[in-house]
Amino acid sequence: MMKTYQGSCHCGAVRYEANLDLAEGTIKCNCSICRKGRNWLVAVKPGAFSLLKGESELSEYQFGAKRIHHMFCKHCGVSSFSRAAGADGTPMHVVKVSCLDNADEQELANAPVMFINGRDDDFKSPPRETRFL
């Protein structure tokens, strides 16, 4: 079911809203940044993300092909969302499920997880091992 979630960094300097349906699925990836950060992600449809507070409190990190803008709070260091372009070039956001302040335990427990092999740029196949993600 579609729901408006509020998300934030740890210190609250960065706040956003995203209209999502966690039952449509979430993502865990084995690329280097996702693996090190143990990221659990959900893609936000175009137009369904609003930064409510903290644009000036954000810093950006990019690596590799520099297709994704990993945004993080200058104060607490938490990266609560990323900006990117979809396959068709449309701007999109990806938020960290762990930064959704009003997601209850049951919603999180029931959210399907799709594993992707970002380490090898093979996004159509899951990694061989997923238990550590």
Residue 14 is predicted with a pLDDT of 98
Using the structure block, give the residue that is written with the tokens 């550590």: 132
Q: Whole-model pTM above 0.85?
A: yes
Note whether 5 and 103 are within 8 A (CB).
yes
Q: Where are the domains of the chain?
A: 3-116
Helical spans, DSSP H, in 53-116:
105-110
Question: Rounded to an integer, what distance in angstroms lies between the CA atom of residue 129 and that of residue 113?
Answer: 14
Fold of 3-116: 2.170.150
- Beta strand 81-85 with 69-73 is antiparallel
Residue 87 is predicted with a pLDDT of 77
Residue 64 is predicted with a pLDDT of 86
Dihedral sign of CA atoms 96, 100, 83, 125 in order: positive
Residue 85 is predicted with a pLDDT of 87
Note whether 124 and 37 are within 8 A (CB).
no
3-class DSSP assignment, residue 120: coil
Q: What is the rounded (10 degree) CA torsion for 94, 111, 108, 72?
A: -10
21: left (phi over 0), alpha (psi -120 to 50) or beta: beta
15: β partners: 8, 53
Note whether 91 and 85 are within 8 A (CB).
yes
- The pLDDT tens digits for 47-92 are 999 999 999 999 999 998 888 999 999 999 999 999 998 778 889 9
Residue 30 is predicted with a pLDDT of 95
- The pLDDT tens digits for 99-124 are 999 999 999 999 999 999 999 988 88
